[in-house]
Structure 1
Amino acid sequence: MSNIIHIKTPLMDDTTANLRIGNRVLISGIIYTARDAAHQRLVELAGQGKKLPFDVQNQIIYYVGPSPAQPGRPIGSCGPTTSYRMDVYTPQLLAMGLKATIGKGNRSDSVIEAMKQYKAVYFAATGGAAALLAKRVKRADVIAYQDLGTEAIMRLEVEDFPVVVANDIYGNDLFREGMVKYQNR
């Protein structure tokens, strides 16, 4: 495949500055999982001035609730969750240094503005490809909130995890551009 950008975590400003909507990206390194309930807990901890279970600085959070792992595999199917449910929490995490999120679907205007302000990006992962995405996970460890079951926070080691830049640090939105192009046909 041509025109694929390979990035490694943790993400730095120079990396996010070079990404544009529509870029196909392969991520290698460490990413973290979190969904609604975990996000609520993270924001509550931050509001109380307490330490989070992992340092979000320059990290990526993947919105996913993976299925149980089959024997010999680090993780079960792990397709993206709809992102807008985390929009209420995302600006605060971006302000704390989070550099990217991965999910499916579009983001709110407040999240897009926060991404511009904090030089963060939003990656879209392919919905319906959960089993294929799981093959890119080399290791998965629960690091917090085990009581949440599949929504516990996990530390994933990934290799060439495929995503597309849906929102860049410049305020561009792949979903909106796609709708405009479609309407102009």
Structure 2
Amino acid sequence: MSGGYVSLTTPLSVEDIEPLHAGDLVRLSGVLYTARDAAHARMAGALTAGEPLPFDPEGQVVYFVGPTPARPGHAIGPAGPTTASRMDPYSPLLIERGLRGMIGKGTRSAEVREAMLRYGCVYFGAVEGTAALLAQCVKESEVVAYEDLDAEAIRRLVVEDFPAVVVNDLHSGDLYEEGRRRWRRRE
């Protein structure tokens, strides 16, 4: 741990994420893939049709984001997290294929949390309202699939010290549930 953060470099293994607990602060470096609802639906269709995915999810982290166009001198425009529950119908398909992390905002369904525990995946939260700051952590951005989806295309991002918080861990920890319990005790 460095400066109160756990530093992780992708790709991630189960051994990398097993020590994490809900509420831990992390800084991710390496590759993240972007994907929102439309891209997730296409990947689900590809799997149903027996076609390969645009990237191998094994050990990877998907960031639920639709970044804005990059300004001159920047790899990407503002890139704030999208509501993760919109990906819930599709996330288990990637998790069972080795996805180790997801980044978004909001809670996840029971089915997604169950798949995370079963196959070894954590859900990280990124702070909404910090889109311009998060974009500064992105050093490279390249569209790798579904270019016609524009902002929702799948991108391969190279990030450095991307800040996130562990929301759901491999120990059934849930930061949202823990926060609600703490708040109720104060009443």
The alignment's TM-score, normalised by the length of structure 2, stands at 0.97
2:150 counterpart SS class? helix
Q: Name 1:39's counterpart in structure 2.
A: 40
Consecutive unaligned residues in structure 1, runs of 5 or more: none
Superposed displacement of residue 3, structure 1: 2.1
2:45 counterpart SS class? helix
Q: Name 1:67's counterpart in structure 2.
A: 68
Consecutive unaligned residues in structure 2, runs of 5 or more: none
Pairing of 1:8-47 with structure 2 (within 5 A): 8-47=9-48
Q: Name 2:125's counterpart in structure 1.
A: 124
Q: Name 1:178's counterpart in structure 2.
A: 179
Superposed displacement of residue 2, structure 1: 3.0
1:15 counterpart SS class? helix
Q: Name 1:101's counterpart in structure 2.
A: 102
**Distance in 1 between the 2:76 and 2:105 partners?**
19
**Distance in 2 between the 1:54 and 1:110 partners?**
23
Sequence identity of aligned pairs in percent? 50
Q: Name 2:77's counterpart in structure 1.
A: 76
Pairing of 1:155-170 with structure 2 (within 5 A): 155-170=156-171
* Aligned residue type for 1:9: T
Q: Name 1:52's counterpart in structure 2.
A: 53
The question of whether the paired residues in 2 share the 8 Å contact of 1:115 and 1:171 is answered with: no
Q: Name 1:152's counterpart in structure 2.
A: 153
1:102-156 CA-partner distances (Å, limit 9, x unpaired)? 0001111111111100110000001000000000000000000000010000000
Count, aligned residues: 185
Q: Name 2:4's counterpart in structure 1.
A: 3
Superposed displacement of residue 172, structure 1: 1.1
